[in-house]
Structure 1
Amino acid sequence: MTWISIRVLITLLLLVSQDLPAQTLIANEQVEIKQLSKTTARSIFAMRVHEWPNGTPITVYVLQDQDPTHNQFCKSVLGMFPYQLRRIWDRQVFSGTGTAPIVVNSEQEMLDAVANTKGAIGYISKDDADTHKRIQIIKVDL
């Protein structure tokens, strides 16, 4: 192995090992689900699943496309790039076959919206959702 290869390998390892903020999937306290598969979470945020198993409508909240938390959530939890999710929403809206999620401007606004909307789901970067009343954390099987 050459010195250049070793330096490149070390650099890559350092970049990969940096801590990223944890992404926490949150839902209104009335949502009966406590755990979702990655596929189900992706379907919900792609606006393909419209109801919880008990028939309650799902209201999806997301942060703005350029928000770092949104970017990281799409990549780490949903396993897709934000632009891919945006394309799905745009296609559904423009074809008249679906709607886009509700966009909020901050994580605090996300917490408030999810807490006050029956059947709501969203995400935040911090793991302090359990301190907020009317919010529960949903575990995603990655």
Structure 2
Amino acid sequence: MKKLLSVLALSLGCVFAANAAVVVVGNPGASDISKSDAKKAFLGKGSAFVVYEFDEGSALRSEFHSKVTGKSDSQLKAFWSKQVFTGKGNPPATVSDASAMKAAISSNPSAIGYMDEADVDGSVKVILKP
């Protein structure tokens, strides 16, 4: 019975996680961006943005990159390893949670990041819904 309850609880957690809507956010004065611009920014391709993302292993990070850059966690790790090794770039700064993301983005007009749409408040603006 305990195993059944554990499985049920884990299943419900997956359902709630699957309902999370990841959005790209910027400073409240930021303009909307295209999915293509977001992809370039998060892959360090000549963007004027200061980019923040969640720590490696975050489910939201995986969802974001699946939807926007088209890369899995392992592909993303390999991509950044190659960029660093060849001197072509460094991965974006990371934050641990939504409040740290909001603090980083609200304090810099050229900063962008992503978060669950449910965590958006007046300190950041949704600039893309992938």
Give the TM-score category using the shorter length: 0.7 to 0.9
Aligned to 1:27: 26
How far residue 63 of structure 1 moved from its aligned partner, in angstroms, is: 0.5
User: TM-score, normalised on structure 2?
Assistant: 0.76
How far residue 85 of structure 1 moved from its aligned partner, in angstroms, is: 2.1
Aligned to 1:10: none
The alignment's C-alpha RMSD in Å is 1.8
1:74 and 2:74 matched? no
How far residue 25 of structure 1 moved from its aligned partner, in angstroms, is: 0.7
How far residue 73 of structure 1 moved from its aligned partner, in angstroms, is: 1.0
User: When the two structures are aligned, how many residues end up with a matched partner?
Assistant: 114
Aligned to 1:45: 42
Larger radius of gyration: 1
Counting only pairs closer than 5 Å after superposition, residues 1-142 of structure 1 correspond to structure 2 as 19-31=18-30, 33-36=31-34, 38-51=35-48, 58-129=49-120, 131-133=121-123, 135-140=124-129, 142=130
How far residue 76 of structure 1 moved from its aligned partner, in angstroms, is: 2.4
Taking the aligned partners of 1:76 and 1:92, their CA distance within structure 2 comes to 21
Taking the aligned partners of 1:24 and 1:39, their CA distance within structure 2 comes to 14
After superposition, the Cα gap between the structure-2 partners of 1:127 and 1:84, relative to the gap in structure 1 and judged at 3 Å, is same
Query: Which runs of 5 or more residues in structure 1 are unaligned?
Result: 1-17, 52-57
% identity of equivalent residues: 25
Q: Which has the higher helix share?
A: 2
After superposition, the Cα gap between the structure-2 partners of 1:64 and 1:136, relative to the gap in structure 1 and judged at 3 Å, is same
